[in-house]
Structure 1
Amino acid sequence: MKLKLPILLAVLQLLPIKAAANECICALCLFGNHHMWRITGEAMAPTLDSGVCAVSRFIDPVKEPPAPGDVIVFKHPTKANTSGVFRVVATEGNTVRITAGKVILNGRELPQVPTVPLIRDIQANPNHRCEDASLIKGGKCPVGRYVETLPNGRSYEVLDLGYGNLDNTRTYTVPPGHLFVLGDHRDHANDSRVPKSDGGIGFVPVENVTGIFDDR
């Protein structure tokens, strides 16, 4: 008995899964329009936490321009054969400024609603960071978690460790054909807040975008 295509795709959507400690399986990727990623850093936590397996869909950014709120995959602007994964916050013509850890988009502060802190096991995962060492109990500590909402209604969770070097920035104006991206872990991301001259990625050219995580 053959599975109908919608049923088969539904089954494949249950993947990716971890087959071993450092291995992921992606049956959906066999069709050629998806790619598997094993997240190794903390920049997009809690949305894409370190160690998880996640599937992105290949896109043509000309036919499907990334929108604010999208989590995208892109070719690194300065490092050959390197890809980045961040969330689009602003597109061309928008102004962005970070003040006291809050995003000011086109002159208006994006609302951040506090939610239950995320408990990080810093013993099990050395990549995890703690906001306040005095709160560590049993190798675990809480990290501030907030729900941030864009003007288009897209919402997502962000993490905040308190004051950080990138909590206050100048005002950026996104140039034509570019995107301004941020990591959801705001104190653990080398994103558009850091210019290329300082080892960051700066603005991301739209033409560099190769994929999108549809379910993030």
Structure 2
Amino acid sequence: MWKMTGEAMAPALDSNACKAARLLDPKAEPPVHGDVVVFKHPVKLDTPMVFRVIALGGDTVQMVQGKILLNGQALPQSPIAPLHRNVLANPHHRCGRTADRDGSCLVDRYVETLPNGRAYEILDLGWESLDNTASLEVPMNHLFVLGDHRDNSADSRLPHSSGGLGFVPIGNVTAIFDDL
């Protein structure tokens, strides 16, 4: 059972959410695009992390204006109803818009779909510096992972030197959430 402590994987795994994950041997069952995996932080090996697999070894990935280009193709994002958040009730919540006096705000929400058909919700607070990245080739036996709450996530878009994950060695994966 995993308890989320941050908002990086909201709305699929919101802060304080508890969810069961299945242990995984990545050599026997390698992760695929769209899996939500638990892994050891590439630098702080005693720190477990949870993120969604976007790209595998050999893939190229880039963020352009908040959209993912995977192997040169933009992943479709379809808007759905905004998500209601309350920054007073949960200080982990962030809003792209100004919160009302009662702390409530709306966050833009989309369904993003990978080429293998896996679809999931993402949150977008508007323009952020990580909405644009260089084109990156994922090294073999590594993963490129992103949080579903794109503007509240220090993920593979950031190198280790900037507090991010960089590419994650596939051997660091320890578990998977089967239903996310």
Is the TM value for this pair above 0.5? yes
- The correspondence for 1:187, drawn from 151, 155, 158, is 151
Amino acid paired to 1:53: C
SS of equivalent to 1:207: helix
User: In structure 2, what is the equivalent of residue 43 of structure 1?
Assistant: 8
- The correspondence for 1:168, drawn from 120, 128, 132, is 132
Aligned-CA RMSD value = 0.8
- The correspondence for 1:197, drawn from 135, 153, 161, is 161
Amino acid paired to 1:99: V
The alpha-carbon deviation at position 60 of structure 1 amounts to 0.4
Residues 63-118 of structure 1 show CA distances to partners (whole Å, capped at 9, x for unaligned) of 00000000000011001310110000010110000000000111110000000000
Q: Distance in 2 between matches of 1:127 and 1:52?
A: 13
Amino acid paired to 1:207: G
Q: Distance in 2 between matches of 1:182 and 1:129?
A: 17
Q: How many residues are paired up?
A: 180
Q: Distance in 1 between matches of 2:124 and 2:100?
A: 16
Amino acid paired to 1:39: M
| Residue 59 in structure 1 maps to residue 24 in structure 2 | yes
Residues 146-181 of structure 1 show CA distances to partners (whole Å, capped at 9, x for unaligned) of 000000000000000000110000011000100000
SS of equivalent to 1:187: helix
SS of equivalent to 1:166: helix
| Residue 75 in structure 1 maps to residue 40 in structure 2 | yes
- Gaps (5+ residues) in structure 1? 1-35
- The correspondence for 1:213, drawn from 172, 177, 180, is 177
Per the normalisation by structure 1, the TM-score is 0.82
- Which structure has more relative contact order (CA 8 Å, sep 6+)? It is 2
Q: Distance in 1 between matches of 2:119 and 2:31?
A: 16
Superposed counterparts of 1:1-216, under 5 Å: 36-133=1-98, 136=100, 138-216=102-180
Q: Distance in 2 between matches of 1:51 and 1:167?
A: 26
Q: Distance in 2 between matches of 1:80 and 1:57?
A: 19
Amino acid paired to 1:43: A
Q: Distance in 2 between matches of 1:145 and 1:199?
A: 26
Per the normalisation by structure 2, the TM-score is 0.98
Q: Distance in 1 between matches of 2:93 and 2:67?
A: 22
Q: Distance in 1 between matches of 2:134 and 2:88?
A: 36
Q: Distance in 2 between matches of 1:141 and 1:42?
A: 15
- Gaps (5+ residues) in structure 2? none
Displacement over 3 Å in runs of 4+: none
